[in-house]
Structure formats: C-alpha cells, structure tokens
C-alpha cells in the first residue's frame, strides 16, 4: 500500500512521527515540508491530492493545525475523499461508509499516539460494499455532474440553467436519437480545459505561433491514437465537424463542377453529400444513387453500372440512416473499375468499426471521414483518415484551405475518446449496441410495424409508421416525445411525404447502451414504442409510458 503524506509547518513534527511509525507496514512518500519554516498548506494538500487522484498513491495523509484547510483543498480533486478525523471511531466509519481515501489530522487536536491509532484504523479499515453505502458514495461522485459547472450558478445563472436543464433531461428521458450518444466525464473535462486558450494554426511541430508545445502534445496523441485505433496511415483530427471533414476531402481532391456520386439525402445520405441546399450540392455536380426499391438495401451491381456510366471523380458511401452493413470491399472493386476516389463517410458507424462490430472501410478507402460524437461517443467534432499518398493534400485542405485555428481542447477530448476505445470493455460496448438495436427492432416488428429493409445490422433502424399505422413520422415522434422517448422523424426510401412530415422514424441504441442498458431493457422500450404508436392520440398510454420510462432510466445513470 502506497501512502502519500504532507503537512504545513504546523504539522511537520507529527508528520515525522507518523512516517517513522508507519514505514514498516506502508510505502510512505513524504511530500514535505522538511522543516517548520512558514509555508502554505494548499501547496502540500495539492501534491498529496494529485498522488491520490492519479492513483499513484492508495491513500493520503495531510496534517495542519486543524486539518480543515487541508481537507478543503484536497476535496477539490476528483476521486479524492478527504476526511478530518479526531478519533478512531470516525476514522473507521468514514472509511466504511464514505470510502474516504485521504486522512486529515489537526496537530492541535490530537496527540501523537492518538494520531497514530487514528491513522492505523483509517488505513486498515475496508470500504463497506453493501448496496446502500455504495449508492450513497455514488451520489457523492454523481454530484459532480452539476458541480463541474457550479461556478456558473454565480457567474452566469442563465447559462447554468440551460446546462442544468440538459442534465435533468438526460437523467429522465430515453434518448434513442441514432446520431447522438453520451460523452464520458473524461472527454468533457478535456473539452472544457485551458487548451481552448491556445491559437495553433498549423500542425504539431509546424505552428505559426509560439507556445504550442502543450497543444502539440495533445494533438499528436489524438493523431497517433486515431491511426492506431483504425489502422490508418494518416489522420487529420482538426475538422470542426463531420461536414467540415467531408469538405476537406472534396477540397483536397477535386475541382468545382466535378462529379460526386453519393446516396441521396432522402434515402439515408447526408446534407454534405451533395444536397442542393448545402455547399456540396452548390459546388459540385452531384449524381445520386438510391437503394434497391424492393430490398431497400444498397444494390452494388446497380451502383457499378451507374458509376461506369457517370464516371464520378469520387464515389461516396456512408449514410445517416442506413440500417445495414456496407460492403466496402465490393465498393473498392467498383472504384478500381471506374478509376475514381473511394470515400467513405462512417460518421454513424465509426464506433461499431472501432469496436469490430461493423467491417472497417479503412483498408479499402482512399479517404474515411467521420464525426467523433455519434457511436464513437466523444466530443462534437470531425476527423479524416487517409492513405499516406493523400496526407499532404488533406492537411493543406484543412489548414490553410478551410479552417484557421483548430479547437485544441476538442482535439484533446478526441484523444481521450480514442484511448477509451482501446479498452476491451469498449469493444464489448460496440457489440452490445448492435444486440440492443436488434432486440428493440424485433419487438416493434413483431407488433406489426414495417421495418425498412426488414431489419437492422447496426445501431439504428427505421420504422415505416405511414404504411403500418397511417401516421406521419412527425406525429409519431411527437407522441413518443410526450411519453419520454426521444426519436426523430426520418424519410424512408422513396418517401411520399415531405421531409418535414416523413413516413418514418429513426431509432438508435447507442446512447441507451452507454447508460448500461441491455436486451431486457431494450425489449421494454420497444414495447413502449409500439404501445404509444398503436394509438398516438391516447394520452393515458403516453403518461403511463413516461412514468415507467423514468423509473427505468433512474437505474441507468448517464455518465
Ligand atoms: C452526422 C453526419 C455528418 C455531419 O456531421 P456534423 O458534425 O453535424 O457536420 C456527416 N456525414 C454523415 C453520414 C452524418 O451522419
């Protein structure tokens, strides 16, 4: 057991006695001070708290005259629970109940022999793992979901109110928006960090401004981790969003007026794949392809035939609302035949690719673009992966081609997210997302609803509510919203409704899976969806589902 110990000038003598007495049983690291020259207690509290927060020490001991200033400082650190103890009994209880890991002693309050007894009791008492104490300790940690932003309560209460409302909404509702997820606290910490203060035009090692060493380190981590995670030659982690990542590829490769062949928006494509209202549709000649009208799946033979006629410069695949596995190997064959650039926008499925739950486009595609906030579950942002031969063109297209200073705080959060994906649990998460989606989809299908393409292979599915119940996607989504279930209206292939009404809803399981839900919960949610859609005017059913949904999510807290 490693114990970090520190004091101020008032606690130096007691510290020396404890170090001497505890050294035989514990690995003691003395953070000072060495003598009784007047000093500032927070300096030593911070050093010891850092050791405990980072996990380099198992316990901390802090001593000043009262122990109070030490505990106040140490408790500012995450994963630190500092307790002032003046007798053996409280030392035991705070270990058992609160899981305290830093002992604060007042040199004026306890004599040396009592202090030693307190320290021994503290260090040797195990944490009580029973449910009620575990729950209360969890609530201490949980308070941080709000307290992380609590300075705003005073500095900007209006903005704080918005953050608090979002926190409450996430706590109470079931989020099935297929393009959303829930970020980890670690990601949010990096995203809100001082790295946002730095201008860093350029790339690590080649910046326009001085003072970029810290942000260089963060960006290099993001780049190398992205390459390792996806097996890519090169990564550019600077695009501010998924649309910007796509723009970077177009700018790096083709000229205005050149032809891009892409899945049309109303079939599941994305705005930035050539919609007339988007820059992509205004600058380039867009030739859309569709899914097969019968199977509602990609038809690779038809795609090949069309591509051979159209001769696009870029063949773009990837979608915002396509529930099936995409055959990237087959698309590579088409691109080789046509002699065009293969570009894959894996914004939606990137997490499944990272976790091995969907085949990777990276070995085949010249360029792979993605967002970092959908199934990947990181900060809102974009990224491009490419083959080495395109690295220079890509980097120049992003900067100076289309962006100025990168958001280094967000890039650092991307790095945190990539590291999270290297853990085995996260790989299991990707498989669970697919299983959860399938479980939820099956219930709705069994209740008589038509599922676009007959099912799902990934993190989302589309319900054709028009042909099933004669209602629009807009009205279906509104009814579910009233029941505490958040989905979005979505066009289905060859939709006869307008994009504002639509015939479908899109349902995804990434966020629910992040909360820890598994198949039994997904079956419940699927049942509720069918209950609500069976009669969207029935407000009693909506109220009942809303109550049951809130009870369910209470057991699956948002990280
Ligand atoms: C979400 C999405 C994007 C764009 O993401 P933004 O970050 O909102 O610009 C691009 N492509 C696809 C396929 C998407 O689903």
pLDDT tens digits along 38-73: 999 999 999 999 999 999 999 999 999 999 999 999
If one counts every other C-beta atom within 10 angstroms of the C-beta of residue 208, the result is 13
- Tell me which residue has its CA closest to atom 4 in ligand 1: 242
Give the Å distance between the CA of 443 and the centre of ligand 1. 29
Given the residues 216, 219, 296, 345, the one annotated as active site: 345
What's the rounded mean pLDDT across residues 182-207? 96
Cis peptide, bond prior to residue 400, ω within 30 of zero: yes
337 is catalytic: no
Q: Any idea which residue has 């080789």 for tokens? A: 336
442 is catalytic: no
What's the rounded mean pLDDT across residues 465-484? 97
- Tell me which residue has its CA closest to atom 10 in ligand 1: 242
Closest atom of ligand 1 relative to the 244 alpha carbon: 9
Candidate from 345, 361, 377 with most ligand 1 atoms within 8 A of CB, to mutate: 345
Report whether residue 265 contacts ligand 1, using a CB cutoff of 6 Å: no
- Tell me which residue has its CA closest to atom 5 in ligand 1: 242
Give the Å distance between the CA of 239 and the centre of ligand 1. 12
Q: Which two tokens stand for residue 140?
A: 């201490």
Report whether residue 271 contacts ligand 1, using a CB cutoff of 6 Å: no
Percentage above 90 pLDDT, the chain: 95
**pLDDT for the residue 141:** 85
374 is catalytic: yes
Q: Is the dihedral of CA 268, 274, 276, 277 positive or negative?
A: positive
- Tell me which residue has its CA closest to atom 6 in ligand 1: 242
Candidate from 250, 267, 316, 320 with most ligand 1 atoms within 8 A of CB, to mutate: 320
Closest atom of ligand 1 relative to the 382 alpha carbon: 7
Candidate from 272, 344, 506 with most ligand 1 atoms within 8 A of CB, to mutate: 272
Q: Cα(431)–Cα(422) distance, rounded to whole angstroms? A: 14
What's the rounded mean pLDDT across residues 424-452? 97
Q: Cα(386)–Cα(391) distance, rounded to whole angstroms? A: 7
Give the Å distance between the CA of 4 and the centre of ligand 1. 47
Report whether residue 345 contacts ligand 1, using a CB cutoff of 6 Å: yes
pLDDT tens digits along 326-335: 999 999 999 9
**pLDDT for the residue 148:** 85
In a 3-state reduction of DSSP, which class is residue 404?
coil
Given the residues 370, 371, 472, 514, the one annotated as active site: 371
- Tell me which residue has its CA closest to atom 3 in ligand 1: 242
Report whether residue 416 contacts ligand 1, using a CB cutoff of 6 Å: no
Given the residues 173, 201, 333, 531, the one annotated as active site: 201
Do 473 and 504 contact (CB within 8 A), yes or no? Answer: yes
What's the rounded mean pLDDT across residues 400-418? 98
pLDDT tens digits along 251-281: 999 999 999 999 999 899 999 999 999 999 9
Give the Å distance between the CA of 187 and the centre of ligand 1. 20
State yes or no: pLDDT of 557 exceeds 90.
no
State yes or no: pLDDT of 228 exceeds 90.
yes
Candidate from 242, 262, 281, 375 with most ligand 1 atoms within 8 A of CB, to mutate: 242
pLDDT tens digits along 153-194: 999 999 999 999 999 999 899 999 999 999 999 999 999 999
pLDDT tens digits along 495-537: 999 999 999 999 999 999 999 999 999 999 999 999 999 999 9
**pLDDT for the residue 266:** 87
Report whether residue 319 contacts ligand 1, using a CB cutoff of 6 Å: yes
419 is catalytic: no
Given the residues 13, 148, 199, 544, the one annotated as active site: 199
Closest atom of ligand 1 relative to the 374 alpha carbon: 1
Which pLDDT band holds residue 143 (cuts at 50, 70, 90)? confident
Closest atom of ligand 1 relative to the 318 alpha carbon: 13
Cis peptide, bond prior to residue 536, ω within 30 of zero: no
User: Poorest-confidence range of 45-49, 92-96, 234-238, 425-429?
Assistant: 425-429
Report whether residue 219 contacts ligand 1, using a CB cutoff of 6 Å: no
Give the Å distance between the CA of 553 and the centre of ligand 1. 28
**pLDDT for the residue 232:** 98
In a 3-state reduction of DSSP, which class is residue 143?
coil
Mean pLDDT estimate for the chain: 97
Give the Å distance between the CA of 301 and the centre of ligand 1. 27
Q: How many CA atoms lie less than 13 Å away from 159 in the CB half-sphere?
A: 7
Candidate from 180, 243, 269, 410 with most ligand 1 atoms within 8 A of CB, to mutate: 243
Report whether residue 371 contacts ligand 1, using a CB cutoff of 6 Å: yes
CA 549 to chain CA centroid, Å, is 23
Report whether residue 242 contacts ligand 1, using a CB cutoff of 6 Å: yes
Q: How many CA atoms lie less than 13 Å away from 332 in the CB half-sphere?
A: 12
Q: Cα(93)–Cα(359) distance, rounded to whole angstroms? A: 52
13 is catalytic: no
Q: Cα(503)–Cα(217) distance, rounded to whole angstroms? A: 48
Give the Å distance between the CA of 136 and the centre of ligand 1. 40
| DSSP per-residue string spanning 173-228 | SEE--TT-----HHHHHHHTSGGGG----EETTEESSS--HHHHHHHHHHHHHHHH
């Amino acid at each position: 057991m490693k114990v970090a110990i520190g004091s101020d000038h008032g606690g130096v003598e007691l510290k020396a006695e404890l170090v001497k007495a505890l050294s035989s049983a514990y690995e003691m690291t003395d953070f000072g001070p060495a003598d009784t020259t007047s000093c500032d207690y927070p300096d030593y509290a911070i050093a010891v708290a850092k050791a405990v927060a980072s996990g380099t020490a198992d316990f901390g001991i802090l001593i000043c005259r009262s122990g109070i200033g030490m505990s106040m400082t140490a408790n500012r650190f995450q994963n630190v629970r500092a307790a002032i103890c003046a007798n053996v009994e409280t030392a035991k209880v705070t270990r058992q109940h609160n899981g305290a890991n830093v002992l604060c002693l007042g040199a004026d309050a306890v004599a040396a022999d009592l202090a030693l007894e307190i320290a021994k009791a503290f260090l040797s008492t195990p944490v009580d793992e029973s449910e009620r104490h575990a729950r209360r300790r969890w609530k201490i940690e949980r308070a941080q979901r709000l307290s992380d932003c609590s300075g705003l309560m005073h500095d900007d209460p209006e903005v704080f109110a918005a953050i608090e409302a979002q926190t409450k909404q996430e706590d109470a509702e079931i989020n099935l928006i297929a393009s959303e997820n829930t970020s980890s606290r670690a990601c949010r910490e990096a995203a809100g960090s001082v790295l946002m203060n730095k201008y860093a035009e350029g790339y690590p090692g080649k910046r326009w401004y001085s003072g970029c060493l810290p942000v260089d380190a963060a960006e290099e981590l993001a780049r190398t981790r992205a390459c390792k995670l996806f097996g890519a030659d090169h990564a550019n982690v600077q695009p501010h969003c998924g649309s910007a990542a796509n723009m970077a590829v177009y700018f790096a490769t083709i000229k205005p007026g050149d032809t891009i062949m892409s899945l049309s928006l109303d079939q599941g494509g994305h705005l930035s794949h050539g919609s007339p209202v988007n820059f992509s549709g205004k600058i380039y000649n867009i030739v859309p392809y569709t899914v097969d009208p019968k199977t509602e799946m990609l038809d690779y033979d038809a795609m090949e035939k069309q591509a051979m006629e159209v001769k696009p410069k870029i063949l773009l695949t990837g979608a915002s609302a396509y529930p099936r596995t995409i055959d990237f190997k087959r698309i590579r064959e088409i691109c080789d035949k046509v002699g065009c650039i293969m570009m894959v926008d894996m914004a939606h499925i990137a997490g499944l690719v990272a976790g091995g739950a969907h085949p990777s486009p990276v070995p085949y595609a010249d360029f792979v673009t993605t967002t970092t906030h959908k199934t990947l579950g990181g900060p809102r942002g974009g990224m491009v992966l490419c083959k080495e031969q395109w690295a220079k063109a890509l980097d120049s297209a992003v900067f100076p081609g289309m962006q100025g200073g990168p958001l280094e705080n967000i890039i650092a959060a991307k790095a945190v997210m990539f590291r999270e994906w290297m853990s085995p649990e996260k790989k299991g998460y990707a498989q669970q997302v697919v299983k959860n989606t399938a479980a939820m989809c099956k219930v709705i299908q069994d209740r008589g609803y038509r599922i676009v393409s007959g099912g799902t292979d990934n993190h989302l599915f589309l319900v054709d509510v028009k042909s099933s119940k004669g209602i629009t996607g807009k009205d279906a989504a509104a009814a579910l919203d009233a029941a505490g279930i958040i989905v979005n209206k979505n066009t289905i292939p060859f939709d006869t409704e307008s994009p504002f009404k639509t015939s479908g809803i899109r349902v995804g399981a990434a966020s629910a899976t992040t909360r820890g839900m598994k198949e039994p919960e997904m079956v419940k949610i699927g049942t509720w969806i069918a209950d609500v859609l069976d009669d969207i005017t029935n407000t009693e059913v909506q109220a009942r589902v809303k109550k049951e949904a809130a009870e369910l999510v209470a057991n699956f807290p948002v990280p």
